[in-house]
Structure 1
Amino acid sequence: MATTRGRAERRPSITDVAKRAGVSVGTVSNVLNRPDQVTPATRDRVQAAIDELQFVRNASARQLRAGTIQTVGAIVLDIANPFFTEVARGVEDRLAAEDYTLMLSSSDEDPEREARYLRLFEEHGVQGVMVTPSAGSIDALLAVRDRGVDVVLLDATSPFDDISSVAVDDVRPFAKERT
């Protein structure tokens, strides 16, 4: 593939794969999404075209057509805080098991910055947001929730019945095991 200043001129499309393999775009789509519905010979031909063109499917386009994006946003107070790093890692591991991705941001305890990230996440069509709310940010969270985005509070207790929360009790001592 020709490059200009180290960048590819154009990513190969599903149409390019179809032309190279001599099949329809629908057949390429079936190979990618429902391979059992395509004969082995056709599957091999399409796979050879995919390999030759170094085709990488465009998840954003697929998700746009489907009307959903398999992404969840998380806004923590400070990414550098080891507690939030551990939380993000656990969330990412769980999401990855379901082929979801995590968009992670840090509010730096600034309600305006938090609101900006909430807006950006919503613009990207995330399925939900997990937020460690900064002081005074509840209105932005409620607005996002009211527009249909699932909201979960991290490291905070929810004052609302319809917003879930996950929090750690930093004060309560561990119970000792009895023998």
Structure 2
Amino acid sequence: MCPMSEQDPVTGFAIAVVREEGKWRCTAMPSDALRELDAVVTELRKMRSTGAVFGLLDVDDQFFLVVRPGPGGVQLFLSDAAAALDYDIAADALDQLRVEPPAEDDDDDEVWPEGAMDILADLGLPAAELAVIAGEVDLYPDEQLQIVAQRCGFADEFGRLLDSLDPIAQ
């Protein structure tokens, strides 16, 4: 696979998830969020909330990214570090995590999750379960993120938003 250039379209979705006063809300983020980690963080920080705020990204049906800004910085979870060889947003995530990407000649079939495995532990998804979800190579990232949504308790809101998104944009 060739590295993505600025002109190559990136498919998938970027969804902001907010939990406030016991209620979940999912909203779509602009498509540039699939290219730039800074764009994701900026969008999430705009969502003022006393509860949890995080982003779920499915990038080109290749990998997923969980982004959770907080007062102490930004927590990240990248489902497959090898994506950094082909996608800028994954490379940016590894850079922020201070992790070197895998070598290009590493086993392509092995998944290399990186980041805060406990990023959603306070919302019902323990680190060990997130690791298992990321390791399910037979599932597409959107399916993995649906499991994340189910485990955290916002599967209905997440599913409704995915259904409402333009299928061409996915």
Instruction: Provide the TM-score with structure 1 as the length reference.
Output: 0.27
Query: More helix by proportion, 1 or 2?
Result: 1
Task: Report which structure shows greater RCO (CA 8 Å, sep ≥6).
Answer: 2
Query: More strand by proportion, 1 or 2?
Result: 2
Larger Rg: 1
Instruction: Provide the TM-score with structure 2 as the length reference.
Output: 0.28
